Chain A
Amino acid sequence: MKPFLNVILLDYIIRIRSYSFLIILYITTAISYTFVPEPNANYSTIRIGEHVGYYNSAWFGYVTAIMTSIFLSLLGFYLVNNSIKKDLNTKVGQIIASTKIKNFTYLLSKTLSNFLVLLTIVFIIFVMSLVLFFLYNDGFDFELAQFIYPYIIITIPSVFFIAVLGVVFEVLLGKYSIIQNIMFFFMFSFLLLYSPQKEIEYAYDLLGSKIVIHQMEETVRSILPVEKADTDMTIGYVLANTIQAKKFKFNGVEFSLVFMSSRLLWMILGILLIIILSPIFHRFTVREYSLPKKRTKSRHIEHTPKEIILSTLPIPHTKLSMLPLIKTEILLLIRKGSLWLWLINGTGIVLLTTLNIKTAHQFILPILWFLQVHRLSDITSKEIQNHTFYFISSSFRPLQRVLTSQIIAGCCLMLFLAAPLLFRYAIEMSVLEILSIALGAFLIVSIAIFLGIITKGKKLFEVFFFFVTYANINVIPVVDYFGGTIKNTSHTLIIMCMTIIICSLSFLKRKLEINR
């Protein structure tokens, strides 16, 4: 038992010590600060019709708990679902595979350390909810139980199941991380849309938020006259909410025994899933690299290597052209990931050509671009991950040439994918659209490069890009980086400035690194 706990603890410590986790914590703190709006803020997070709750303990506790449950299910999955892959990449997996550890023990320890990572974030948000309560204190009593109950009954079980799912997806889909992401995304959307009808059905709600929302709606309904019962619930950031919201008093939820045991059952189900999957876990026997199928007629002639005399070899001359660099970077981008993912890209390109131009621009383009997330996140982090950093930092004028060619290569990929759309706009002579798309590509590539440089990893950009894409599909204008909804010159100018700033920061950081 003791060694098992040590494994979990060590794994956990390694993960929270990483720089990117620190950044995630910053972001979480910032986001959780917005979970309950400041009393005069012009947005709301949870709103029932025209009503929001009085700022009492229950409102703070329950609102932050269900926001966390939803937010952390999505973010958390992307955060933790590389724990096995990391062992594979660092070759630690090979050492683990040669020990006596059982598949189940290993997978369970990964699950639990995933869980601990998420729990750390939950804890931060929990503390934030207390801070917010006292910050916006409206004269209501502080009731600790109203904070603790929702977190224990709603947030923690759902976060636990997410930790399980992180491992389950990795076991089932191994190295196809992009498919894991897409599948989880659909699953999550389904979870959000699920609406229980009967009392018992709340038990099926993994995120556990529905029962709270239901209770809130009921409370509002009870204080409203029947005919104008507008109890439509909105979750998320609703902007420009300038009309003063009406208030209602929310007193928390009396959780039924059935509901509470359903939370426990979800957790048990999670462990069962791990048990079921243990026998099929690959145990690091996956081929890290697959040879191309097509074999050039294997020349099995015994080849005796030549004795060469180095000083007589031809001497290449100085050539500072960036073309070969760009070429290789593009090659690396294209070869990243399995070949058949290009079929999906192909489909995307066809859709960009055939669908009506507005849909193509607004929805297909961001999704198609998002599908390149693992390629973009690799551009600058690959030097660390593959240990090729030394080659670059000891070469001639590395900064200007390598980084620039990486940016160019990334943009080439994105613009190539957007080509049909650009072409259609060119026919229509819509210069602004073309400019917005080109700038959008440039911006997202520079963000990928910047985050890769500062975190030395891929995760942060992947999570970030995911949220941006998700928000764009939901047509939230502030995150429109490619001119899908906002079509004016000043917006384009802002995007341009951001791109320039982010690029400069990347160059600056690289310069500091190289001059260590």
Chain B
Amino acid sequence: MKLEIKNVSKHYGRKKQALQDFSLTIENGILGLLGPNGAGKSTLMKIIATIHKPTNGIILLNKNNIIKDANYMRGQLGFLPQDFGVYPNLNAFEFLTYIAAIKGVGGNALKTRITELLDGLNLLHAANKPIGSYSGGMKQRVGIAQALLNDPKIIIFDEPTVGLDPEERVRFRNLISDLATSRIVILSSHIVSDIDVIADQVAIMKKGALLAKGDLQYIIKEVTGKIFEVSIDSSRFSDFKHDQFVLSATRSQGSITVRYFSENPVEGSIQKKALLEDAYLHLTKS
């Protein structure tokens, strides 16, 4: 599988440009999409999912232009939108059967597949209750299940872990980790540690443009050896913030432990192992 996004732009109205000349090539594996609010992640995903058309540019899936031939994409797509809803009057089983019918899959295997999916997402005990009575996280998991119904070859999850408790997040990670070998999985998240653990590749975007793309090592390389921590007096904090690229700060009894990025650290700093979060903050804040 190979997905090529070539010079894609998307305008909303005349002024708003959500994507600007965006290019990216994605191959089998899990791609984590990171970016601040409004960066254009959902816009990109909706365009790949053929819900929106780009203003400019083309998208090729295995050399097929999916902007012209949307059904080529739709036939092998699993998509979890960021803001989706359900029909509250249906139970999970009925809803998934309905979505499967919309996707055009069926047969005897479907029933087993739905049951297994519900089981794997810890929803089987509630499968016969109307979705209207579900909790937020349970609804989110119904959304995840519907994306996996048709054995998709390309799977797009827009913030899949929103609303999931820690245990369910782990379950989700385990669930999708074995998809990577022969499929494309694209997922966006604001929880950097989620991406950290599951993604093979990371793409960081901001204001509709791609800032960096590569595997974890590659992304982190930029900041490796330049991440430090130092404890300073609270009163000096605002000056310090002015002089240095502060990534995070934790307060403890009068002093503040600051984590920062620097080429030449201040005295008394301890070098730290660089994390994806550091690279992300460094890229998007500067």
Interface residues of A (CB under 8 A from B): 288-289, 291-292, 296, 299, 303, 305-311, 313-322, 324-325, 328, 331-332, 335-336, 382, 386-388, 390-398, 401-402, 515-516
Contact = CB atoms under 8 A, between A and B. Distances in A.
A313 B122 CA distance: 16
Most central of A319, A322, A387 by chain B CB within 10 Å: A319
A310 B106 contact: no
A313 B116 contact: yes
Contacts of A401: 102, 104
Interface string B49-74: 11111000000000000000011001
A316 B53 CA distance: 29
Contact of B87 (A310, A332, A393): A332
Contacts of A516: 51-53
A292 B178 CA distance: 38
B13 interface: no
Contact of B104 (A314, A318, A332, A336): A318
Contact of B90 (A321, A332, A394, A402): A332
A325 B116 contact: no
Contacts of B179: 310-311
A188 to B, nearest CB: 31
A331 B103 CA distance: 19
B87 A291 contact: no
B111 to A, nearest CB: 9
Contacts of A320: 104
Interface string B104-122: 1111011011001101111
A305 B117 contact: no
B128 interface: yes
Contact of B106 (A289, A317, A331): A317
Interface of B: 46, 49-53, 70-71, 74-75, 77, 79, 81, 83-90, 94, 97-107, 109-110, 112-113, 116-117, 119-122, 124-125, 128-130, 132-133, 146, 148-151, 171, 174-176, 178-179, 181
A397 B104 contact: yes
A322 B132 CA distance: 25
Contacts of A324: 97-98, 100-101, 106
A303 B87 contact: no
B131 to A, nearest CB: 9
Contacts of A313: 112-113, 116-117, 151
A85 B154 CA distance: 39
A315 B152 CA distance: 10
Contact of A310 (B90, B105, B150, B176): B176
A305 B87 contact: no
Contacts of B113: 313-316
12 contacts: A288-B88, A291-B130, A313-B116, A316-B100, A316-B105, A316-B109, A317-B107, A319-B107, A324-B106, A335-B89, A398-B102, A516-B51
A351 B243 CA distance: 84
A319 B120 contact: no
A304 to B, nearest CB: 9
Contacts of A318: 75, 104-105
B94 A328 contact: yes
A317 B119 contact: no
Contacts of B104: 318-320, 395-397, 401
Contacts of B124: 303, 305
Given A317-B106, A395-B74, A310 B85 contact: no
A57 B275 CA distance: 81
Contacts of A396: 71, 74-75, 102-104
Q: Which of A306, A319, A394 has the most CB of B within 10 A?
A: A394
Nearest to B48: A394
B75 A314 contact: no
A124 B191 CA distance: 53
Nearest to A325: B101
Given A288-B88, A303-B125, A391-B84, A315 B109 contact: yes
A336 B74 CA distance: 30
